């Protein structure tokens, strides 16, 4: 394995361009990496059912989903980290008081605690272009493992939740929504479950990302690359910064770090 590396790619704004499409240069680069013997993986905040089509298109069966809470290595689940159920119940009660909808997400599906289409939910989830919206089931979080929630509130409103719910981390991914994760859970932690199992030294670990939920990953991974279209915090955390995703940013970044010619 001395020359083999593992490369983790975020999805939105990294593998997918602003039209939610995989640039041709990116797809070719992924297959070129694999032909050279490298391990290619995904590290995303999305649920597994939200990027099955991407995995099939790119022939990837190793991934970190839910920002590190559900980890799959070559088709096998090797790590899960669900939300604390008691704390989630209390969070739900608080969110109802504040009229902030919640979407509960497990490995297979997602359901909201509001019966009608809510502006915040429809507006934010539409940006993912996954062709799926949560149905109504306010009790979905009960008696099952929930790996991530979407809490719908405007920017700044999450600060009180952060102060009151130490079991959770709140990471904004949209002006109308934040991810709710187990405290300390991150893509970086999920990635370590894979790299430790496969035995990759840090010098042979690479990661590409663009968002706030990529910051820990970009700090931890030795060869980290932020997209040119990324958040400033992501760029500051990364060792390298490549071009924008729609300017062949993945290919350029892989050439920059010497994985492709």
| 8 A C-beta contact, residue 191 and residue 220 | yes
> Tokens for 79?
């790590």
Scan for tokens 């983790």, then name that residue: 8
d(C-alpha 91, C-alpha 164), whole Å: 9
**Could you give the angle at the alpha carbon of 188 between the alpha carbons of 182 and 189, nearest 5°?**
55
In the chain, helix, strand, coil percent, each to 5?
Answer: 35, 25, 40
d(C-alpha 67, C-alpha 147), whole Å: 9
**Residues near 76 by Cβ (< 8 Å), separated by ≥ 6?**
none
| 8 A C-beta contact, residue 83 and residue 149 | yes
Could you list the active site residues? 10
> Tokens for 6?
């593992």
**Residues near 107 by Cβ (< 8 Å), separated by ≥ 6?**
47, 48, 49, 70, 145, 147
Q: Strand ranges (DSSP E) for 124-261?
A: 135-136, 148-152, 168-174, 177-182, 205-209, 223-226, 240-241
């Amino acid at each position: 394995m001395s020359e083999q590396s593992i490369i983790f790619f975020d999805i939105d704004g990294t593998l997918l361009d602003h039209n939610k499409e995989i640039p041709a240069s990116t797809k070719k680069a992924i297959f070129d990496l694999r032909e050279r013997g490298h391990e290619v993986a995904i590290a995303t905040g999305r649920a597994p059912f939200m990027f099955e089509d991407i995995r099939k298109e790119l022939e990837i069966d190793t991934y970190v989903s839910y920002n590190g809470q559900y980890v799959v290595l070559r088709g096998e689940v090797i790590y899960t980290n669900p939300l604390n159920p008691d704390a989630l119940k209390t969070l739900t009660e608080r969110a109802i008081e504040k009229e902030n909808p919640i979407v509960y997400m497990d490995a297979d599906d997602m359901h909201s605690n509001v019966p009608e289409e809510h502006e915040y939910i429809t507006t934010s989830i539409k940006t993912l272009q996954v062709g799926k919206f949560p149905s109504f089931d306010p009790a979905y979080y009960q008696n099952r493992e929930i790996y991530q929630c979407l809490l719908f509130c405007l920017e700044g409103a999450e600060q009180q939740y952060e102060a009151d719910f130490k079991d959770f981390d709140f990471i904004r991914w949209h002006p109308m929504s934040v991810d709710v994760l187990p405290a300390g859970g991150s893509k970086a932690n999920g990635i370590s479950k894979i790299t430790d199992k496969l035995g990759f030294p840090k010098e042979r670990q690479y990661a590409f990302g663009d968002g706030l939920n990529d910051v820990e990953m970009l700090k931890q991974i030795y060869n980290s690359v932020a997209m040119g279209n990324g958040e400033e915090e992501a760029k500051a955390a990364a060792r390298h910064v490549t071009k924008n995703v729609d300017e062949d940013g993945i290919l350029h970044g892989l050439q920059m770090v010497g994985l492709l010619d």
